[in-house]
């Protein structure tokens, strides 16, 4: 659990991991511009000794990359990770080896993370060989000591020492994951990254492995970073939760606070997507997110969630319904991404080219279906779409941006220092995300 004012065991500050494209010698000779994929971009959190921090989010949001970069299995592009007060990026030689002994990982897929040519005894003992353990005199040979250590760990994770000489293909998925856990424990670590350790397992086996992880944490005083997308699993095992979206943490807090009173609209949407068995909640309305997750090659400015957020903030001087504003923002995003262009609209129209009225109506049906605009809002949208019909793409984009620009796209929200904090412009102001919903749209 969190240890009050004690220094965290793991401190992550503004961690970045970028992958660069068009960065070869040939590209440089040809003058191709280097592009970056921002897999992890400015992630910060602490993990206290004995605590389990859950890291959740959609597939591809950067969870696994964050875990591997924290362990320095991937070199960080920027930021800092401190383990027990020492900067991990500055470690080398014996200091780096010592860190490797204290920090381990359990991988997601138990079918590909074990070497099929090695027995499970050899797999579990391999970290001991790599670190040349034992480092003190023992009875018998070092090989015998390692074998005994592997046998003991097999027993501790619920398998039999008699299975020591079997190969991975002779075990089920749950048993293989137990072998992976035993391997992670071989060096008696303080900190383990659990990268979706039960996602590849049957539900009945998941519960067994989760209970095992909880028991081992109590027995060995372990600290976990638990990466998952199954929110029910996170609530069962974790003390605190960090919610990731498109490479950044958007909400961080105690597990009960996150699940019972989420502040960020994305966290709310995640929790709403969880199926519920309660009879009282049958037939409840679940608000779905619009649009696709943006590319990490070119993430949105300001709040990264703004392109899908159902409560994006309109300008103070624009009187517009939230649904209509979301539709206008979708129209703007399509224009700016290049997904909406005059040629494609004219191509599917059953009308003469140059019929601006038909063009405008077609775009309205696609992007503003069911939404009502009036006054200046109606005029600006009409002029912008008409400009697009004349292939004046820049004019259309500028007209919409001048009228409908949101603080969500100009200013990037950041996490606060509170125990429960969210990177959202609505949090902490007069209006919060939860104040906009009623019992028909959101139920805890």
What pLDDT shows up at residue 433? 43
What pLDDT shows up at residue 146? 97
- How far apart (Å, rounded) are the C-alpha atoms in residues 352 and 303? 40
| Contact in structure between 333 and 346 (CB atoms under 8 Å) | no
Q: What are the structure tokens assigned to 17, written together?
A: 């991991």
Phi, psi torsion values for 249, nearest 5 degrees: -85, 125
- Same domain for 64 and 173, yes or no, is yes
- Same domain for 239 and 332, yes or no, is no
- Same domain for 264 and 180, yes or no, is yes
What pLDDT shows up at residue 289? 78
Q: What is the pLDDT along the chain (444 residues), one digit of tens a residue?
A: 444 468 999 999 999 999 988 777 777 777 777 789 999 999 999 999 999 999 999 989 999 999 999 999 999 999 999 999 999 999 999 999 999 999 999 999 999 999 999 999 999 999 999 999 998 888 889 999 999 999 999 999 999 999 999 999 999 999 999 999 999 999 999 999 999 999 888 888 999 999 999 999 999 999 999 999 888 899 989 999 999 999 999 999 999 999 999 999 999 999 987 766 554 545 545 556 777 889 898 899 999 999 999 999 999 999 999 999 999 999 999 998 888 999 989 988 877 888 889 999 999 999 988 788 999 999 999 999 999 999 999 999 999 999 999 999 999 999 999 999 999 999 865 444 443 333 333 333
- How far apart (Å, rounded) are the C-alpha atoms in residues 76 and 73? 9
Evaluate whether residue 200 is within a structural domain. Answer: yes
Closest to 77 (Cα-Cα) out of 14, 12, 18, 11: 18
Evaluate whether residue 264 is within a structural domain. Answer: yes
Evaluate whether residue 125 is within a structural domain. Answer: no
- How far apart (Å, rounded) are the C-alpha atoms in residues 381 and 60? 34
- Same domain for 334 and 269, yes or no, is no
Evaluate whether residue 280 is within a structural domain. Answer: no
What pLDDT shows up at residue 116? 96
Q: Which residues make beta-bridge pairs with 40?
A: 17
Evaluate whether residue 309 is within a structural domain. Answer: no
Q: Go through 203-224 and write b for each residue having 16 or more CB atoms within 10 A of its CB, e for each that does not.
A: eebbebbbebbeebbeeeebbb
- Same domain for 81 and 210, yes or no, is yes
- Same domain for 176 and 265, yes or no, is yes
- Same domain for 319 and 267, yes or no, is no
Compute how many other C-beta atoms are within 10 angstroms of the C-beta atom of residue 365: 10
Q: Is 310 left (phi over 0), alpha (psi -120 to 50) or beta?
A: alpha
Evaluate whether residue 218 is within a structural domain. Answer: yes
- Same domain for 255 and 357, yes or no, is no
- Same domain for 112 and 196, yes or no, is yes
Residue that is last in its domain, among 273, 294, 323: 273
| Contact in structure between 189 and 103 (CB atoms under 8 Å) | yes
Between CA 222 and CA 224, with CA 223 as vertex, the angle to 5 degrees is 115
- How far apart (Å, rounded) are the C-alpha atoms in residues 387 and 360? 10
Residues found in the chain: 444
- Same domain for 235 and 320, yes or no, is no
- CATH, residue 216: 3.40.50.300
Compute how many other C-beta atoms are within 10 angstroms of the C-beta atom of residue 354: 10
- How far apart (Å, rounded) are the C-alpha atoms in residues 82 and 13? 8
Evaluate whether residue 252 is within a structural domain. Answer: yes
> Domain span at residue 401?
314-405
What pLDDT shows up at residue 411? 95
Cβ-based neighbours of 325, under 8 Å, separated by 6 or more:
312, 314, 318, 404
- When divided into structural domains, the chain yields a total of 2
What pLDDT shows up at residue 26? 75
- How far apart (Å, rounded) are the C-alpha atoms in residues 194 and 441? 34
- Same domain for 28 and 101, yes or no, is yes
Q: What are the structure tokens assigned to 321, written together?
A: 């319904």
Q: Terminus-to-terminus CA distance in the chain, angstroms? A: 25
Tracing tokens 């992880």 back to the chain, one arrives at 213
In the sheet that holds 10-21, the strands lie side by side as: 35-47, 10-21, 78-83, 86-87
- Same domain for 108 and 244, yes or no, is yes
Q: What are the structure tokens assigned to 11, written together?
A: 């401190």
Q: What are the structure tokens assigned to 338, written together?
A: 């290049």
Evaluate whether residue 422 is within a structural domain. Answer: no
Structure letter (DSSP) for residue 222: -
């Amino acid at each position: 659990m969190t240890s009050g004012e004690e220094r965290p065991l793991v401190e992550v500050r503004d961690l970045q991991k970028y992958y660069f494209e068009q960065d070869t010698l040939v590209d440089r000779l040809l003058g191709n511009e280097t592009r970056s994929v921002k897999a992890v971009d400015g992630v910060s959190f602490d993990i206290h000794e004995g605590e389990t921090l859950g890291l959740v989010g959609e597939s591809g949001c950067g969870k696994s990359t964050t875990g591997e970069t924290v362990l320095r299995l991937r070199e960080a592009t920027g930021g800092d990770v401190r383990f027990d007060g020492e900067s991990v990026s500055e470690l080398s030689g014996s200091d780096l080896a010592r860190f490797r002994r204290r920090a381990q990982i359990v991988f997601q897929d138990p079918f590909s993370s074990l070497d099929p040519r090695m027995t499970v005894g050899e797999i579990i003992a391999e970290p001991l060989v790599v670190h040349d353990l034992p480092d003190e005199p023992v009875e018998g040979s070092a090989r015998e000591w390692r074998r005994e250590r592997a046998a003991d760990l097999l027993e501790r994770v619920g398998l039999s020492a008699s299975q020591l000489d079997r190969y991975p293909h002779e075990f089920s998925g749950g048993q293989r994951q137990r072998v992976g856990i035993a391997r992670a424990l071989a060096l008696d670590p303080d900190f383990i990254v659990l990268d979706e350790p039960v996602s590849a397992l049957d539900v009945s086996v998941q519960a067994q492995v989760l209970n095992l992880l909880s028991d081992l944490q109590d027995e060995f005083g372990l600290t976990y970073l638990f990466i998952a997308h199954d929110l029910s699993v996170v609530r069962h095992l974790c003390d605190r939760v960090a919610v990731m979206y498109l490479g950044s943490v958007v909400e961080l807090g105690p597990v009960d606070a996150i699940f019972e009173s989420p502040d960020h609209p994305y966290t709310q949407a995640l929790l709403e997507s969880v199926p519920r068995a309660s009879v009282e909640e049958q037939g409840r309305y679940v608000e779905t997110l619009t649009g696709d997750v943006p590319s990490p090659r070119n993430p949105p400015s300001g709040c990264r969630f703004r392109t899908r957020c159902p409560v994006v903030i309109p300008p103070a001087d624009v009187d517009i319904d939230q649904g209509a504003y979301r539709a206008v923002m979708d129209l703007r995003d399509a224009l700016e991404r290049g997904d909406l262009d005059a040629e494609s609209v004219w191509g599917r129209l059953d009308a003469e080219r140059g019929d601006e009225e038909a063009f405008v109506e077609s775009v309205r049906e696609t992007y503003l279906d069911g939404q009502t605009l009036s006054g200046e809002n109606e005029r600006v949208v009409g002029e912008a779409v008409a400009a697009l019909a004349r292939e004046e793409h820049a004019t259309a984009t500028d007209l919409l941006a001048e009228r409908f620009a949101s603080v969500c796209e100009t200013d990037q929200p950041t996490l606060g220092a509170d125990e429960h904090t969210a990177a959202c412009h609505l949090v902490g102001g007069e209006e919060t995300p939860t104040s906009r919903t009623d019992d028909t749209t959101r139920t805890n």
